[in-house]
Amino acid sequence: MEEKAIKIQEVDIPAIEVKDVVKIYKLYDKPRDRMLEAFGFGKKQNHKLHYALNGVSMRINRGETVGIIGTNGSGKSTILKIITGVLNPTSGEVHVDGRISALLELGAGFNQEYNGIENVYLNGTMMGFSEKEIDEKLPSILEFADIGDYVYQPVKTYSSGMFVRLAFAVAINIEPEILIVDEALSVGDVFFQAKCYHKFEEFRKLGKTIVFVSHDLSSISKYCDRVFLLNQGNLLGEGRPKEMIDAYKRVLVGQYEVPEEPEENYLPDDGKMRRKAVQRSDGEVRESAETQKDSENRGLAGVQPNDDKAAGSTGKNTSALEYGTKQAQILEYYVTDDRGVRTTAILKGSTFTLHMKVRFSDHIPAPIFAFSLKNAIGTEITGTNSMIEKAFLESAEPGQLKEITFTQKMSLQGGEYLISLGVTGYNGDTFEVYHRLYDVLNITVVSDKDTVGYYDMESTVEVKDVKLY
């Protein structure tokens, strides 16, 4: 009985656990202020506190592939550096169980004067491998890097692409239990990126833990089991990739509540320096029921938002993510087939039309009507808008109601897809989101011929006899 209890306890140990981590930097207006404070001249405080991380907690389980997303300056790279031991937190705890291999800043851990092979041995030694062990791994490292005779040249002569090839080859060939990658894959060419993501798949099957930061939301959606969303040093939420990507898009347009600025030198009862802010769960991203009800009450007479009772039969998602200023509101949306009949099933190769009705409550100088289409795992496949298509470049006035239609041929493979809608525009140089509805419609593409990939190129195949002379 004792042995079983011990085994269960071991399984429950996470690969990485971050507990209430805070990272504070002191910012000075002038170098002179730093020097004066260092030597203790004057009683005036010459710095401001910048919270790179503010009480962030994460639990990453063994075998998970976890993504961390957020805007620039949100603390993504900082948390990775703290996990790998490159930085120490101001307060909080980090526990790591397993051998880590990290690919952080380009060239971190490389000696610019050494050649490629010398740097492989340098990195391997730093990770605890003997020279004999590195000898055994060297062929696979060089084969993966595939930079030819450049391995004999000083790395200071390498291009950024060659640099990341060698660094990634070393990182993944030392048999890590935990792989941490920070945006490095965006540097290599498309062939190298494909090779790296193939390696990700191999690692996942082997039960390795992967943590990576990327602005490539398609990769985050495809490879991650869970995603953490950071903003201005705060953890806004964690959850499934689709939910967190939708919340991130809301942050990008400034329609996600941002925590208040810190009170400098604020010390809670536990003695830890921390910004006064509340971490939000992913459930709080959604509009409140009261707000949605209020939106419905503002509808025009005779034109109401989509009826929830009919939602099931028309492929409508009643719990879709919705946000915007509501100066323009999408009241109705549906899909019709090539005969003009409302439907949720579209025959591959046929023409279909997406409809939406929009009511304006304010003057909008140049509204942009848009739709995008995702697959079931959240990868955006295609989409367009009225500005791209140069279809509507006029202004809209209060009280106006407009119907917008997008008509196109269905070339996607058979399967389930989700449609998102939006009304946006520019107020001067400021991008505004008036109303966005994510994943509000589900459509099924019916096909008797599915080719490779997302869509059919409609190739014409011809085979001819060739005369032999």
Domain CATH code at residue 432: 2.70.50.60
Q: Are residues 221 and 315 in the same domain?
A: no
In terms of domains, do 316 and 438 share one?
yes
pLDDT at 43 over 80: no
**Total domain count, the chain:** 2
The angle subtended at Cα 99 by Cα 93 and Cα 104, nearest 5°, is 75
Of 28-42, 63-77, 337-351, 369-383, least confident by mean pLDDT is: 28-42
Is 308 in a helix, a strand, or coil? Answer: helix
Domain that holds residue 435: 289-446
Residue 83 shares a structural domain with residue 205: yes
Lowest mean pLDDT among 35-44, 348-357, 359-368: 35-44
pLDDT of residue 112: 86
Tens digit of pLDDT for each residue in 228-250? 999 999 999 999 988 898 888 88
What is the reported pLDDT for 245?
A: 86
Q: Are residues 194 and 309 in the same domain?
A: no
User: Could you tell me the two tokens for 191?
Assistant: 């062939």
pLDDT number for residue 23: 94
Residue 374 lies in a domain: yes
| Strand order from edge to edge, sheet including 401-409 | 328-336, 351-360, 401-409
Residues 244, 312, single domain; the answer is no
Instruction: Tell me the mean pLDDT in the region 351-356.
Output: 97
Which helix (DSSP H) or strand (DSSP E) does residue 369 occupy?
strand 368-375
pLDDT at 282: 36
Cβ(455)–Cβ(411) under 8 Å?
yes
Q: Looking at the predicted structure, is the pLDDT value of residue 306 above 60?
A: no
388 lies in some domain: yes
| Residue 318 pLDDT greater than 90, yes or no | no
**Average pLDDT score over the chain:** 81
| Cα–Cα distance for residue pair 232/256, rounded to 1 Å | 12
The tokens describing 342, both together, are 């409302």
Q: Are residues 228 and 297 in the same domain?
A: no
Give the residue from 252, 270, 297 where a domain finishes.
252
Looking at the structure, tell me whether residues 434 and 388 fall in a common domain. yes
Instruction: Please work out, in degrees rounded to the nearest 5, the angle formed at the alpha carbon of residue 171 by the alpha carbons of 78 and 140.
Output: 170
Percentage of the chain beyond pLDDT 70 is 81
- Asked whether residue 4 carries a pLDDT value surpassing 60, the answer given is no
pLDDT of residue 311: 46
Give the pLDDT mean for 268-291: 38
CATH of the domain at 83: 3.40.50.300
HEC profile of 317-355: CCCCEEECCCCEEEEEEEEECCCCCECCEEECCCEEEEE
Rounded to 5°, angle at Cα 156 from 155 and 162: 50
223 and 300 co-located in one domain: no
Q: Is there a domain that residue 227 lies in?
A: yes
Question: In what order do the strands lie in the sheet containing 47-60?
Answer: 47-60, 16-28, 91-96
Q: Would you say residue 7 has pLDDT above 50? A: no
Work out the average pLDDT over 342-367: 94
Q: Sorting pLDDT into bands at 50, 70 and 90, what band is 5? A: very low
Last residue of a domain, one of 252, 279, 303: 252
Q: Rounded distance, CA 233 to CA 53, Å? A: 4
Q: Are residues 240 and 294 located together in one domain of the fold? A: no
Residues 311 and 416 occupy one common structural domain: yes
Last residue of some domain: 203, 237, 252?
252
Confidence of residue 396 (pLDDT cuts 50, 70, 90): very high
Q: Count CB neighbours of 415 within 10 A.
A: 15
213 shares its domain with 316? no
pLDDT digits (tens, 9 = 90+) for 427-455: 888 899 999 999 999 999 988 888 888 98
pLDDT band at residue 304, thresholds of 50, 70 and 90? very low
Contact 227, 68 (CB under 8 A): yes
Task: Identify the helix (H) or strand (E) that includes residue 116.
Answer: helix 116-126
Asked if the model's pLDDT at residue 59 lies above 70, the reply is yes
What integer pLDDT is reported at residue 48 of this predicted model? 82
384 in a domain, yes or no?
yes
pLDDT average, residue stretch 95-117: 82
Q: What is the spatial distance between Cα 173 and Cα 124, in angstroms, rounded to a whole number?
A: 10
Question: For residue 320, is pLDDT > 90?
Answer: no
Residue 34 located in a structural domain: yes
Question: Which stretch of 41-55, 119-133, 330-344, 438-452 has the lowest confidence by average pLDDT?
Answer: 41-55
321 and 221 fall within a common domain? no
Q: How far is CA 175 from CA 266, 289, 314, 315, 412, in A?
A: 44, 49, 50, 46, 39
**pTM tops 0.75:** no
Which tokens go with 109? 């851990």
Q: Residue 440: inside a domain, yes or no?
A: yes
Report yes or no on 269 lying in a domain: no
Closest C-alpha to 365, from 431, 300, 303, 436: 431
Residue 360 has pLDDT above 90, yes or no: yes
Query: Taking Cα atoms as reference points, which of 426, 435, 332, 421 lies closest to residue 384?
Result: 421
Phi then psi for residue 13, to 5 deg, are -70, 120
> How far is it, in rounded angstroms, from Cα 316 to Cα 299?
19
Could you tell me where the DSSP H helices lie in 230-346?
241-252, 289-297, 311-314
